[in-house]
């Protein structure tokens, strides 16, 4: 399967800071950076106004960069209750912006992103930033952290998408699918760094 040219938007969701990125799949495992940024909404503002601002900002990004797919970080119930709920409200608005434009959405957990990008599901921020800088051939590390996370989500989707397609294709023939599951994973190259 050839993903060359696939445009992926990565979103690290948040209401105070929401990381946005756009990358494009190149040949093999190459990924090219297109855009990266952070949308901020003041924490003192009304929740409805903040969601409206976020919706409009991400909508403008989608209309400008026309991604083929959006990768969003999956939110869990941990940390400050109010922050988690605000982030979950933001995720609803972000997914809706994609759905309104007919752009499919994939969600990844933080450990899935870390594993796909660095090979280690427990990589720290420093390691992740170093990997993203190297993978995308950036002259300096992306800042702030939300921007780096958004890039990592987009790279994660570029590298995992072929595997998702293969998994779905495998489901067409149950026996083949079962046989594949019994075979030791041949997918290690999906988590290694391109040479």
Q: Is 48 in the site for its own copies (CB under 8 A)?
A: yes
CB 49 within 8 A of CB 158: no
Does residue 73 carry a catalytic annotation? yes
Residue 76 half-sphere exposure toward CB, CA atoms < 13 A: 6
Q: Is 42 in the site for its own copies (CB under 8 A)?
A: no
Degrees, nearest 5: CA angle 19-21-27 = 150
Q: Is 57 in the site for its own copies (CB under 8 A)?
A: no
Strand partners, 106: 71
Distant-in-sequence, close-in-space partners of 167: CB < 8 Å, separation ≥ 6: none
- Footprint of its own copies on 140-169 (CB under 8 A): none
Q: Is 69 in the site for its own copies (CB under 8 A)?
A: no
Among residues 85, 130, 138, 145, the one that binds its own copies under rule CB under 8 A:
85
Among residues 6, 69, 105, 145, the one that binds its own copies under rule CB under 8 A:
105
Assign residue 79 a region (left: φ > 0; alpha: ψ between -120 and 50; beta: otherwise). left
Total count of residues recorded for the chain: 195
Q: Is 49 in the site for its own copies (CB under 8 A)?
A: yes
CB of 8 vs its own copies, minimal distance in Å: 16
Q: Which residues bind its own copies (CB under 8 A)?
A: 47-49, 51-52, 55, 75-77, 81, 84-85, 88-93, 95-96, 98-100, 104-105, 107
């Amino acid at each position: 399967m050839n993903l060359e040219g696939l445009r992926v938007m990565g979103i690290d969701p948040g209401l105070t800071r929401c990381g946005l990125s756009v990358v494009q799949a190149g040949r093999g495992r190459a990924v090219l950076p297109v855009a990266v940024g952070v949308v901020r909404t003041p924490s003192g503002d009304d929740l409805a106004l903040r969601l409206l601002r976020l919706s409009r900002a991400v909508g403008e990004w989608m209309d400008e960069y026309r991604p083929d797919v959006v990768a969003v970080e999956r939110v869990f119930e941990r940390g400050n209750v109010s922050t988690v709920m605000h982030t979950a409200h933001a995720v609803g608005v972000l997914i809706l912006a994609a759905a309104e434009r007919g752009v499919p959405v994939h969600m990844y957990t933080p450990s899935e992103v870390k594993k796909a990008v660095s090979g280690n599901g427990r990589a720290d921020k420093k390691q992740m930033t170093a990997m993203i800088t190297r993978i995308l051939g950036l002259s300096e590390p992306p800042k702030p952290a939300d921007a780096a996370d958004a890039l990592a989500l987009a790279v994660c989707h570029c590298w995992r998408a072929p595997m998702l397609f293969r998994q779905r294709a495998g489901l067409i023939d149950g026996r083949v699918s079962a046989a594949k599951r019994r075979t030791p994973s041949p997918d290690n190259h999906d988590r290694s760094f391109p040479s």
